[in-house]
Amino acid sequence: MSNEENAKPEENVQQEGNLQQEGNLQQEGNLQQEENVKQTVESPKNTVGDLVSSFLSLKEKNPKVFFGAIGGVAVLLLILMMSGGDGSKPTVSGPVIKDLAVGQRYVLKSANAYDPGATVRLVSTPGAIAAYDDTEETDRTGACQHMPQGTPVSVLEFADAYGKQKTYAKVRIEEGECKGNEGWALAIDVQ
């Protein structure tokens, strides 16, 4: 045999040994990584366990401090629950009732209608609006009974109803086909 043939088995044995060492090192590294992961997972558990045990030992050693801490946490939670919100109250938007004056000019505007084509009903007596029934054709098409919004009027007098002052306003129409006609409207519809 030549020197090369003799050298090959030794090199093969040496290479196999190196491979085994590398495998062992990898296994050791894997084991260390697994241990680190276990320690990382168990670390919060241990910390929580230590905190709970020290808190419970405080109960035995100094119960005043223990129950005081529980009471303090309860008071803080109660304060947080009761102090919600930004403190501002929502504003309610809607029709504004003006303080109407006799002899002043205003316009008719239906406070409860969003339709610009809605009309304001004028009646001959203040209480007739409450008993309003336009099932008859003449009630709907009668002259100067349904006035368009924006019609200029002058306030002549007021009537109280339902325990409220100035509920109804007697108005005189100042422009248009019905100029000079008078009728009663809800004061909230005169703006």
pLDDT value of residue 125: 83
Pick the CATH number of 105-189 from 2.60.40, 1.10.357, 2.40.50, 2.30.30: 2.30.30
Residue ranges of the domains in the chain?
A: 3-82, 105-189
Q: Can you spell out the DSSP letters for 136-164?
A: SHHHHH-TTTEEETT-EEEEEEEEEETTE
pLDDT tens sequence across 5-62: 555 555 544 555 554 555 554 555 555 666 655 555 567 777 888 888 887 888 888 8
168 and 186 Cβ atoms separated by less than 8 Å = yes
End-to-end CA separation in angstroms for the chain: 124
CA distance 130 to 97: 19
Tokens of 183: 């009728």
CB 173 within 8 A of CB 145: no
Block residue for tokens 């008859």: 136
List the structure tokens of 53.
């045990």
Would you state the pLDDT for residue 13?
47
- Reading phi first (left if > 0) and then psi (alpha if -120 to 50, else beta), residue 185 is in beta
pLDDT reported for residue 21: 54
Please give the pLDDT value at position 153: 95
User: Running DSSP on this structure, what letter comes out for residue 127?
Assistant: G
Q: Over the stretch 79-135, which tens digit does the pLDDT of each residue have?
A: 988 887 666 666 666 655 678 889 899 999 888 788 878 888 888 888 776 555 555
